[in-house]
Structure 1
Amino acid sequence: MSAKLRPAAVAGMFYPGSATALSRDISQMLSLVAEKRMSRPKAIIAPHAGYIYSGPVAASVYAPLAALRGSIRRIVLLGPTHRFAVNGLALPASTAFATPLGAVPVDRQAVAAIEDMPQVVVSDAAHAQEHSLEVQIPFLQVVFGTFSLLPLAVGHASAEAVCEVLERLWGGDETLIVISSDLSHYLPYDAARQVDAGTARRILDLHYAIDHEMACGATPINGLLLAARKHGLQAQLLDLRNSGDTAGDKSRVVGYGAFAFHKAEYDAH
């Protein structure tokens, strides 16, 4: 199959357009994260706004993952569609996704594993201008180096439909699932903190009843929470802030959370 590149759509807007500045900014954000104990995660949730706003929160979950460089070889990346309506979960026809840091190949074996599913469609239009997936890729490139990518732009779908796809792609320790989502949108600062705290509690309880007022990526989040229940995972909150804490005013803020999901640890005593 000849290569078909999905070019970066929001470089120079959501994040720096030059490789040097992009690598520098991400490395700096990662370096500022205070060390936290984190078990090896199977999945994470990270925000997807412009890096000046949500980058420090995303870094809080990506920084501990640097220890897994070389062992994580496949990223299953799900994010909501913001610009193009789609029914189901959309694969790209593209065979690679580009950022200023280089091109990441789409995992054709993973594509083949799910392309027969009724909730899976192929739509380059769903991916062409979508930032929710793209803004995660430079972080992944800096943290992991070389990996293959299975990107899914998630439109109208049930939690069960998303979970079924995740089950097909679950894999072993080589596979990390990344859900891209912001939390509340355009509330006053104090109201956002209250709403986002409630959303975080639902995520930590694996309560898959998140709605789109709580998180723009509610659909893929709910699918992950259902899968996490089935696989006996527990959630860990690594960061919970909003744009009023990072780089915006506090009259209308967007909420951001960083979560990791790993096997539940049981006390043997």
Structure 2
Amino acid sequence: MATVRQPAVSGRFYPGRPDDLRRDLDRLLAAARTSGVPGSPPRAMIVPHAGYAYSGPTAALGYVQVEALRTRISRVVLLGPSHYVPFPGLALPTSDRFATPLGEVPVEPADGLLRLPQVVRWDAPHEREHSLEVQLPFLQSVLDAFTLLPLVVGDATPEDVAQVIEACWGGPETLVLISSDLSHYRPYADARAMDADTVRRILALQWPLPERRACGAVGVNGMVVVARARGLRPVLVDARNSGDTAGDRARVVGYATVRFEEVRSDQG
């Protein structure tokens, strides 16, 4: 009997009514289409995971670049940090589908990943986790039918994460997403300076990130390891913080979208 992971943050991080959610997504994506960063389609991306009022504009600028791949991408590998359940390694769910107000997304079984010692199948890290869930309505808006391989990242090394990403990499039908916010609850000016340095390190493919630079730092570090090995080029799509989007600049959270491009041989 099929099991469905129900939304945990619908109505809080994003609208819970389908029509309201579509309206918000249409608005965010329409604004992003007018100011996107040109370049090659992404093979992988780092995207933020706060409420749409806060990180939605930054996330949308990445997702409009995925629209060009609507008919090609049929598989999404999604990694996000565990905010609620501490555990070692990375966790796959037992659920067959993940639900949002826009419908259900089939989950890839990925039994082969269980051969890696750092991967477990465990639902507890997924039950309340928003870092994966908030990406799904965006994906449902910019892609046609796709399967999802969702992994919550716990206590793991960058090499552990890189090994899992490599095992999931697939071909041109696969998009890899790393869900992460940047600095948390710092004054606006301090956050801008710290986040600028973090982004600089990511674009230079330097790892590991200094402590407390990103809540999804383990996933980001793993993606950087993969990018170095595969010769991927990171490109900054957008960076801002909640003080830019929601007004309060006393204690802000930073966001960035970074895409990773495959470099063609004629580009050097």
Range class of TM-score, shorter chain: over 0.9
CA distance in 1, matches of 2:97, 2:247: 34
Change (3 A) 1:211 1:91: farther
What is the deviation of 1:24? 1.2
What's the counterpart of residue 186 of structure 1? 185
CA distance in 2, matches of 1:48, 1:176: 17
What's the counterpart of residue 93 of structure 1? 94
For 1:1-269, list aligned pairs within 5 A: 2-33=1-32, 34-108=35-109, 111-264=110-263
What is the deviation of 1:36? 2.4
Secondary structure, counterpart of 2:248 in structure 1: coil
Secondary structure, counterpart of 1:32 in structure 2: helix
CA contact (8 A) 1:242 1:256 kept: yes
Large movers: runs of 4+ above 3 Å:
265-269
Deviations 1:60-94 (A, max 9, x none): 11112111101000000000000111110000011
Q: Which amino acid aligns with 2:193?
A: Q
Structure 1 gaps, min length 5? none
Q: Which amino acid aligns with 2:4?
A: L
What percent of counterpart residues are identical? 53
CA distance in 2, matches of 1:242, 1:196: 9
CA contact (8 A) 1:60 1:238 kept: yes
CA contact (8 A) 2:162 2:226 kept: yes
Deviations 1:105-145 (A, max 9, x none): 1012xx12211110001111100000000000100000103
Q: Aligned residue pairs: how many?
A: 266
Q: Which amino acid aligns with 1:168?
A: A
Structure 2 gaps, min length 5? none
Q: Which amino acid aligns with 1:58?
A: A
CA distance in 2, matches of 1:184, 1:256: 8
CA distance in 1, matches of 2:101, 2:66: 21
CA contact (8 A) 1:183 1:256 kept: yes
CA distance in 2, matches of 1:159, 1:25: 35
Deviations 1:171-224 (A, max 9, x none): 110000000000000000000000000000011011121144110000010000
Q: Which amino acid aligns with 1:97?
A: F
Q: Which amino acid aligns with 1:98?
A: A
What is the deviation of 1:8? 0.3
Q: Which amino acid aligns with 2:27?
A: Q
CA contact (8 A) 1:53 1:248 kept: no
CA distance in 2, matches of 1:139, 1:7: 17
CA contact (8 A) 1:91 1:123 kept: yes
Secondary structure, counterpart of 1:161 in structure 2: helix
CA distance in 2, matches of 1:139, 1:208: 28
What is the deviation of 1:268? 5.8
Change (3 A) 1:211 1:93: farther
Secondary structure, counterpart of 1:199 in structure 2: helix
CA contact (8 A) 1:207 1:225 kept: yes
How big is the alpha-carbon RMSD for the aligned residues of Structure 1 and Structure 2? Answer: 1.2
CA distance in 1, matches of 2:49, 2:233: 23
CA contact (8 A) 2:41 2:68 kept: no
CA distance in 2, matches of 1:53, 1:268: 36
CA distance in 1, matches of 2:234, 2:126: 28
CA contact (8 A) 1:7 1:98 kept: yes
CA contact (8 A) 1:113 1:169 kept: no
Deviations 1:149-191 (A, max 9, x none): 0000000000000011111111110000000000000000000
Q: Which amino acid aligns with 2:79?
A: L
CA distance in 2, matches of 1:268, 1:22: 40
